[in-house]
A and B are shown apart, each in its own frame.
Chain A
Amino acid sequence: MHLFNKTINYQNPSAEGYYGDFGGAYIPEMLYGNVETLKKQYLEIMQDPAFQEEFHALLKDYVGRPTPLFYAERLSKEIGANIYLKREDLCHTGAHKINNTIGQILLAQRLGKTKIIAETGAGQHGVATATVCALKGMECVVYMGEKDIERQAPNVARMKMLGATVVPATSGSKTLKDATNEAIRAWINEPSETHYIIGSVVGPHPYPDMVARFQSVISDEMRKQLKEKTGSELPTHVVACVGGGSNAAGAFYHFLNEETVELVAVEAAGHGVHSGMSAATTQLGKPGILHGSKSILMQTADGQVVEPHSISAGLDYPGIGPLHAFLYESKRGTFTSATDEEALDWAFHLSKIEGIIPALETAHAFAVLPRLNLKATDNVIVCLSGRGDKDLATYMQAMETKKY
């Protein structure tokens, strides 16, 4: 069991964006104006009733919210606890990512911005950003690692079809971390007319808090839906996969200050936590600074950021949002991990017993269920963050080479 500290409000960072020692805005002065404007205005804009109305109307009519909370009967029986699935995979564009991009595009409009930039790894956030830019008629440029562009051709095509320009990030390791560097640089080079839509609860303050708030619609709905089904708003466990941590932040958000709810964050162990091919940031990382905030970070002894590995591009990030670093350090969150192979096994297993093909990222969250020592009376919500269409190539390959 975690040690719960009642004096801490886990939802709100300090005025300067700190969750304990983690967070802040470690940005060069060239970004100060843009970040400061955002910092001063995001809460006011987000709390404006007109904004809330427009945001929730789009979530309802465009995204398809509320997403169902589904009681997974066969899975529950097998695990020996009540397992509920929060169906973010049913969102428009196939994952929770669009909750945040809808929020940020409306915010960008109110800030008078005319151009959107974004980074993407597997392309899910890129697609969600290109989608809302098409919806609102804004110019969209997505930075994507050169290697990821090769690996994720269908999502590159989707972004292009939606009218976005996809710019290959050719620096460093040519993956998500470098796409993020390139997007930040692009923002530095043309700051006044451009808004940068970060896709996860990472980056300088106020991004981690802002993205968590946009994604918090997930746990807001969970509470209401669970109450309808069980009479109680509070589950015993909420389980979510964590790369940067946006679906987990959204799924945990309205339970952060509920001490009876165990928050389980599942990182990608890759070939195994200590295999040298892993993305289990809290297990392998140390406190450090990347992409504008202080958090936990996979790095060499000399402080160079290392390239992680996960079969799922969405978890393949060397850092973790500062909120999660704080949940880890304060022991409010239970951090665990699942390997590539376990994720694949569970992607196939969930498909067969519940008729839901999950994204590879999401499959990690299911893989830890048998290890949580659950009781028959436990009510567990798993955040089913995305659907598996984008991973079909990997799944097809797995069917050829393995037992599935």
Chain B
Amino acid sequence: MSRLSALFQKQSTRVLNVYCTAGFPNLNSTLEVMESLQANGANIIELGMPYSDPLADGEVIQSSGNVAIENGMTIEVLFDQLKTMRQTIHIPVVLMGYMNPILQYGLEDFCKKAKAVGVDALILPDLPLYEFEHLYGKTIQEHGLDFVFLVTPETPEDRLRKLDALSTGFLYAVSSSATTGKDKDFSKVALYLQKLQAMQLKNPVLVGFGIKDKDTFNAVCTYSNGAIIGSAYINALSKGNSVSETTAQFLKEVLN
């Protein structure tokens, strides 16, 4: 059983997935950040591979990516850092990134190495359904990696069912059509999530975009299996001094 399936079998509510950018705040802080997240209660780590033109992300995540790129982070460096990851990290790790750097690295090689270091799944926001089905999805699946699609309140039902059918691990419900790091109207989000619940999807649903603190986390957890926090944590990391103290403080505020 995959790590993600095992997690959701054990815990079906309040699953917390925290996003961090590889190579941020420092080139070699990647594992330290991941270990701190695990130690302080995160259930999944979404590790972002920095890209110069991250269309689906807001300012906060893009600037952390720019810092990481300047720090020297590349896919090759990242896989080297992750070689020993599974000695200390036991929770699921999802790589998030954009297609271009992966295509330059070579998709097949990328999947092989990701699997080898113990990555569980991929989130690639600019790999849509058609291109997944016809061009790239097979390679990802053949290497035993889960693939998580994004769905939004505007995704039509038949398409949503198809995205759910093709996703493994979980489904990423974008709280509203927006980039990361924007504030949301949570009454609308609640209606949307209730609609998703009623659809009896194959995958657990984690909600992302606009989840930033205890209140927003609690609000979406009522109607889903959990949530993803990104920009708010990156903000905290940018301001904090020590990774472990910042992470402990941040997750304490979200979870308690």
Q: A residues within 8 Å of B by Cβ?
A: 16, 24-30, 32-33, 171-172, 177-178, 181, 184-185, 188-189, 191-192, 286-292, 297, 299, 301-305
Contacts and interface: CB of A to CB of B under 8 A. Distances in A.
B108 interface: no
B62 A16 contact: no
Contacts of A289: 98-100, 103, 126
A303 B150 contact: no
A304 B101 contact: yes
Contacts, number: 115
A304 B69 contact: yes
Given A16-B130, A191-B177, A302-B75, A29 B152 contact: yes
A32 B126 contact: no
Interface in B176-200: 177-179, 182
A303 B53 CA distance: 10
A290 B55 CA distance: 9
A370 B3 CA distance: 65
A176 to B, nearest CB: 12
B179 A189 contact: yes
Interface of B: 51-53, 55-56, 58-59, 62-63, 66, 69, 74-76, 98-105, 125-128, 130-131, 134, 149-152, 154-155, 159, 163, 174, 177-179, 182
Given A185-B55, A188-B56, A189-B178, A27 B66 contact: no
B103 A302 contact: no
B222 to A, nearest CB: 23
A222 B105 CA distance: 44
A172 B125 CA distance: 19
Nearest to B59: A171
A281 to B, nearest CB: 14
B98 to A, nearest CB: 8
B104 A301 contact: yes
A11 B62 CA distance: 37
A302 B177 contact: no
A305 B59 CA distance: 17
27 contacts: A25-B128, A25-B130, A26-B127, A27-B55, A27-B128, A28-B126, A30-B56, A30-B178, A33-B152, A171-B59, A172-B53, A172-B66, A178-B53, A181-B53, A188-B55, A191-B154, A287-B103, A288-B104, A289-B98, A289-B99, A292-B126, A299-B100, A303-B51, A303-B101, A304-B101, A305-B52, A305-B53
Contact of B100 (A27, A32, A185, A290): A290
B126 A27 contact: yes
Nearest to B105: A303
Contacts of B100: 288-290, 297, 299, 303, 305
A299 B69 CA distance: 13
Given A26-B128, A188-B55, 20 more contacts: A16-B130, A25-B131, A26-B126, A28-B125, A29-B125, A30-B177, A32-B154, A172-B53, A185-B55, A185-B179, A188-B178, A288-B103, A301-B104, A302-B74, A302-B75, A303-B100, A303-B102, A303-B105, A304-B69, A304-B101
B224 to A, nearest CB: 17
A302 B131 contact: no
A16 B178 CA distance: 24
Contacts of A286: 104
Nearest to B57: A185
Which of B126, B152, B163 counts the most A-chain CB atoms under 10 A from its CB? B126
Contacts of B58: 185
Contacts of B177: 30, 33, 188-189, 191
A302 B76 contact: yes
A289 B150 CA distance: 19
A29 B59 contact: no
Contact of B51 (A25, A27, A189, A304): A304
Contact of B131 (A26, A32, A301): A26
B70 to A, nearest CB: 11
A185 B150 CA distance: 16
A177 B104 CA distance: 19
Nearest to B177: A30
Contacts of A302: 74-76, 101, 104-105
A29 B178 contact: no
A30 B52 CA distance: 20
Contacts of A32: 128, 152, 154-155, 159
Contacts of B53: 172, 177-178, 181, 290-291, 305
Given A185-B58, A297-B100, A302-B101, A28 B150 contact: yes
B94 to A, nearest CB: 16
Contact of B52 (A25, A26, A28, A304): A304
Contact of A29 (B69, B75, B128): B128
Contacts of A189: 177-179, 182
A291 B155 CA distance: 21
Nearest to B66: A172
A288 B100 CA distance: 5
A181 B100 CA distance: 15
A213 B78 CA distance: 44
Contacts of B150: 28-30
B99 A26 contact: yes
A299 B15 CA distance: 38
Contacts of B101: 302-304
Nearest to B54: A181
Contacts of B102: 303
User: Which 5 interchain pairs have the tightest Cβ spacing?
Assistant: A303-B101, A303-B104, A28-B56, A302-B74, A28-B125
Given A184-B55, A288-B103, A299-B104, A30 B128 contact: no
Contacts of B99: 26, 289
A28 B172 CA distance: 12
B103 A303 contact: yes
A28 B174 CA distance: 11
B104 A171 contact: no
A376 to B, nearest CB: 47
A172 B155 contact: no
